[in-house]
A and B are shown apart, each in its own frame.
Chain A
Amino acid sequence: MVSLKPEIRIGFYVCHCGHNIASMVDCADVAAYVGQLPGVVLARDYKYMCSDPGQELIQKDIAEFGLNRVVVASCSPLLHEHTFRAAVAAGGLNPFLFHMVNIREHASWVHTDRAAATAKAKVLARAAIRRAALARELPQRQIPINPGVLVVGGGIAGIHAALTLAEAGKHVWLIEREASIGGHMAKFDKTFPTLDCAACILTPKMSAVGAHPNITLWSHSDVVQVDGYVGNYTVKVRRRPRYVNEELCTGCQECIGNCIYKEPKFPDEFNEGLGKRKPIHIPFPQATPQVVLIDPQVCLNFKRGVLTDRCKKTCVEACGDRKAIDFTQKEETKEIQVGAIIVATGFKPFDVRRVPQYGYGTYPNVYTALEVERLVNASGPTAGEIVLRDGRRPSAIAIIHCVGSRDKKTNRWCSRVCCMYSMKLAHLLKEHSGAELYNFYIDIRAPGKGYEEFYDKLNEEGVHFIRGRVGEVTDWAMIPEEEGKLVIRVEDTLAGVVRRIPVDMVVLATGLEPHADAQAVRRLFNMSCGTEGFFLERHPKLAPVSTFTDGVYIAGCCQGPRDIPDTVAQAGAAAAEALALIDRGHILQEPNTAHVLADCSGCKSCLPLCPYTAIGFDEATHQAVINEALCKGCGTCVAACPSGSIGQHLFEDDEVFSEIEGLLTADPEPTPALAATP
């Protein structure tokens, strides 16, 4: 199948990319230089090679000049290799006779000296020409795509993506770390700016997930391993024991009532520790799945997580014939096959203990915003009454914005939702308690439909807005009116004075940050993280839900802070991208597989090295055999073969060495800047 044509006729094109390349690289000079290299029949520079006229130019030249190789010097192959391969194929050549060289990210964008950048572009082009001369025609393989989709994270993003895909007839595995789906949204009381009840709009979607025939919901579970590639991922999921059989539990909760603990005793995670629960519990009334779970750290039938069987097991009695409680349940690992993955793992609220000047943990009446969501909620620990930790009811409440946001000492970014949720909480707290409300803000950011109007409404309701970053929250009283109060010390930057404002309750509007294990999750799915630790999209504007790994998409706050409407929109987009991929039915695979050359000595050293078990051994010929359907082109065997008897399509030795020679060779034309570099 290797067919070297007798005469090499290369067409070379250098792209201006508008000013992106042309401003720092003399494109005409590069074309003139490459034009006189051996094998080059024509060399052109053109404003936008990726444009339709640019692609047509290549096709026309192939016919007119009998080109049999094409090299384009432009941007990253990640962006346009596909475009140019298609153009070359349309011109009648095998697409793998095309080679691309990156003089934008590798030259014009990263240099400030035009002469040196031009010289570098010439060298890179020369290497590409040398390599292209040796390029072979290769066949393109099609691989079928598994139509299943894995959705990681059962917050509103994961829920919406899973439902969209399931409605389109795809099977979805929804994996959630907590015992119930719902995420942060399930804890919210109302949503801004419409003030509709979060539970009322979320729980129908949660039950739809639980009931949908196309959705397999595994809560209390973690993804532990991801192998494979776009269209064909193999995923291992660890299902942690909840000590209750999900198939048998009816959600009647009689076990909870009959627990040996008569009263709830342990901090209730769903209510942010403001309420109490028993060892056997259900996270919240609308939890999905409607299955109880046992906390082995506090259950009397365990000691520090280890089964002791010392409890009277009144819960088992209550469960009776249903026999759902199973203290011997073990962790299980399941393996599933999917074609696409949507990562929607959400965010972590900023840890307010990192700003000790705001007194969280020192003063009991300092709360995080998420705690207040539960406090104002009718099904929360105080049934919606604003009763403080010390039993008092507040007559003045401060809300401090930007805690762990827009702060060089903690997180630099704006968390986008805090201004709006602070105003929502101000409205709700005022409604529930009648207290005076003070918002301390740096800037009010209300850029959304109906958001600015909501800010106006709050002003009309008499909520106070004081512009200034709060210096500290203290119980240092200077006047009798401040005794027993929390004093907010702040520079009012509009009035130009330092103020002391005594209040009874302080709410910290905590920012959003990546999960502590975001780096581990990133590695699991082969994604990238931005500098702040949120998962990185493929392109900030044009590929906002794609990642650099094909078939892996992101949605929601794991990609950056955003509100519910934006999260839902993004989750829908991720589902659509996944659908577009799997409905294509197949993917074209890069023909970069390894192949055994005739002189294989049969030493078998490659066999155990292959991570994909793609190498077998033919006892008859006494040679290694590579299954190209399994080979992923990692090149491990190519490098390891002691006799150099394994080659790799697209990366043949002569191609790579030729390219290196092209980079290093002494050139008749002086390249001053490069020569000056040691």
Chain B
Amino acid sequence: MKFAYFPGCSLKGLGRAYEESLLPVMRHLGLELEELDDWNCCGATAYMAVDEAKACVLAARNLALAERSGRDQLLAPCAACYLVLNKTKHYFHDYPAMKATIDRALAAVDLAYAGDTAVRHPLDVLVNDVGLDAIRQKVVRPLRGLKVATYYGCQLVRPYATFDDPYNPVTMDRLVEALGATVVRYPLKTKCCGGSLTGTVPEAGIRMVYILLNEARKRGADCLATVCPLCQFNLDAYHAQVRSEYGDVIVPTVYFTQLMGLAFGLPEKQLGLHRAAVPLRWRPPVPEVAHA
């Protein structure tokens, strides 16, 4: 399986641990990712709120580049990129005025978008295309004993419930269980991480981070697993502020791809685990060698 790959700004910056763990995991499962040549901002963040048309044009350029690359599927690991690319595709098909705007803008730079590229999230591809059986076969160090709170955030399944239930997504739960870990029931799995509020209205943002971390701790989770760089950042970077406001709630937050890498026995240095402010110290037990 070959995919066009759209890293987006996060996976090259603050969320680089996501890319660092994603690429070897995908390679290990025989999936080829071909990074889009000359990609640009996906259109998320403030763009969408300020000028929807401009945001969609930005996203559409990436979709057009993916089409030109000849791949019919575009992999977007960041939940925000995934949402904006999907949203643009929906708008392109549903709103003729938006389609005209996009067509006009792309034509100005000799690009065209037909509207066919499938926008996929790695979680969807791994569970629904590769399959849990294939993943289980690659597990050499089962995450036995690790209790994980699966945290999907707000954007992956909303508003477009493309591959999972918008209220109660379970895809990551099944994946994490296939790795040998235990999933703790986490009722806040789609609650907002605070988004950019941690920067703009810190008292509100920090409170949201605290709620998520505190509930994970109360449920006995050893870590939170996430699919989104912004979620990971918010849950990882504000422990000091949470401590001064509410007291210590130390729970590390990792990308689901990092857990996969650990279970696959990939070299730790490749997985970017050290980049977190509150890194996951837990390591899977070394399996006993079968007696001859």
B167 lies within 8 A of A355 (CB): yes
Please give the distance in Å from A390's CB to the nearest CB on chain B. Answer: 16
A355 to B168: give the CA distance in the assembly, Å.
9
A475 to B165: give the CA distance in the assembly, Å.
19
Please give the distance in Å from B282's CB to the nearest CB on chain A. Answer: 25
The yes or no answer to A379 lying at the interface (CB within 8 A) is: no
Query: Among the listed A356, A357, A362, A476, which residue makes an inter-chain contact with B215, where contact means beta carbons less than 8 Å apart?
Result: A476
A487 to B, closest residue via Cβ = B187
Give the residues in chain A near B167, CB-CB below 8 Å.
355-357, 472
Please give the distance in Å from A94's CB to the nearest CB on chain B. Answer: 57
A472 to B165: give the CA distance in the assembly, Å.
14
A362 to B187: give the CA distance in the assembly, Å.
10
Give the residues in chain A near B139, CB-CB below 8 Å.
none
Task: Report the count of interface residues on A (CB-CB < 8 A).
Answer: 9
Contact with A along B171-201 (1 / 0, CB 8 A): 0000000000000010110000000000000
Give the residues in chain B near A357, CB-CB below 8 Å.
167-168
Contact with B along A359-386 (1 / 0, CB 8 A): 0001000000000000000000000000
The yes or no answer to A59 lying at the interface (CB within 8 A) is: no
Interface residues of B in 21-61 (CB under 8 A from A): none
Give the residues in chain B near A475, CB-CB below 8 Å.
187
B161 to A, closest residue via Cβ = A409
Contact with B along A336-368 (1 / 0, CB 8 A): 000000000000000000011100001000000
Please give the distance in Å from A462's CB to the nearest CB on chain B. Answer: 30
Instruction: Using known A-B contacts A476-B215, A478-B211, determine if residue A356 contacts B168 with beta carbons closer than 8 Å.
Output: yes
The yes or no answer to A474 lying at the interface (CB within 8 A) is: yes
A478 to B215: give the CA distance in the assembly, Å.
9
Give the residues in chain B near A472, CB-CB below 8 Å.
167, 187
Please give the distance in Å from A437's CB to the nearest CB on chain B. Answer: 24
B185 to A, closest residue via Cβ = A362
Give the residues in chain B near A355, CB-CB below 8 Å.
167
Give the residues in chain B near A476, CB-CB below 8 Å.
187-188, 215
A471 to B, closest residue via Cβ = B167
Please give the distance in Å from A333's CB to the nearest CB on chain B. Answer: 43
Please give the distance in Å from A532's CB to the nearest CB on chain B. Answer: 22
Give the residues in chain B near A474, CB-CB below 8 Å.
187
Contact with A along B233-273 (1 / 0, CB 8 A): 00000000000000000000000000000000000000000
A356 lies within 8 A of B165 (CB): yes
Contact with A along B56-88 (1 / 0, CB 8 A): 000000000000000000000000000000000
A475 to B215: give the CA distance in the assembly, Å.
10
Please give the distance in Å from B244's CB to the nearest CB on chain A. Answer: 20
Give the residues in chain A near B188, CB-CB below 8 Å.
476
A476 to B, closest residue via Cβ = B187
Please give the distance in Å from B239's CB to the nearest CB on chain A. Answer: 20
Give the residues in chain B near A362, CB-CB below 8 Å.
185
Q: Which of B165, B167, B187, B215 has the most CB of A within 10 A?
A: B187
Interface residues of A in 439-478 (CB under 8 A from B): 472, 474-476, 478
Please give the distance in Å from B217's CB to the nearest CB on chain A. Answer: 13
Give the residues in chain A near B215, CB-CB below 8 Å.
476
Please give the distance in Å from A514's CB to the nearest CB on chain B. Answer: 23
4 new A-B contacts, CB < 8 A, other than A474-B187, A475-B187, are A356-B168, A357-B167, A472-B187, A476-B188
Task: List 13 A-B pairs, Cβ < 8 Å.
Answer: A355-B167, A356-B165, A356-B167, A356-B168, A357-B167, A357-B168, A362-B185, A472-B187, A474-B187, A475-B187, A476-B187, A476-B188, A478-B211
